[in-house]
């Protein structure tokens, strides 16, 4: 079974980034408490005051699909709609192997 990573970025007004991150805290905590959620974060970019990076890691596709059905997922979407000025790419990645940074890929 492969893990699922969601990686992305959104732009917000610089004066609204702290508000977005603060208001997202309960939604992030609810997501992290879900069965199958290994990590869930909205991260402010230290070099661009308008950029927020999105990082999620899920045990499998079923856990991610379940996440999509929960009320806090819809709340997060509404919150992003209020604050996001430009949506960068947000993409799903299938993680079929994981190892140390210096480990060579198998095969």
Rounded CA separation 25/104 (Å): 36
pTM, to two decimals? 0.91
Task: With beta carbons less than 8 A apart as the criterion, state whether 55 and 43 touch.
Answer: yes
Rounded CA separation 56/15 (Å): 25
Task: With beta carbons less than 8 A apart as the criterion, state whether 91 and 7 touch.
Answer: yes
Mean pLDDT, range 87-99, rounded to an integer: 92
pLDDT digits (tens, 9 = 90+) for 36-64: 999 999 999 999 999 999 999 999 999 99
Rounded CA separation 55/70 (Å): 18
């Amino acid at each position: 079974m492969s893990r699922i990573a969601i990686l992305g970025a959104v732009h917000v007004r610089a004066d609204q980034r702290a508000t977005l991150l603060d208001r997202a805290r309960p939604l992030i905590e609810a997501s992290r408490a879900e069965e199958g959620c290994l990590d869930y974060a909205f991260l402010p970019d230290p070099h661009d005051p308008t950029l927020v990076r999105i990082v999620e890691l899920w045990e499998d596709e079923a856990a991610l699909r379940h996440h999509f059905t929960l009320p806090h997922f819809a709340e997060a979407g509404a919150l992003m709609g209020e604050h996001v000025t430009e949506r960068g790419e947000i993409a799903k990645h299938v993680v079929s192997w994981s190892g140390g940074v210096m480990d060579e890929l198998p095969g």
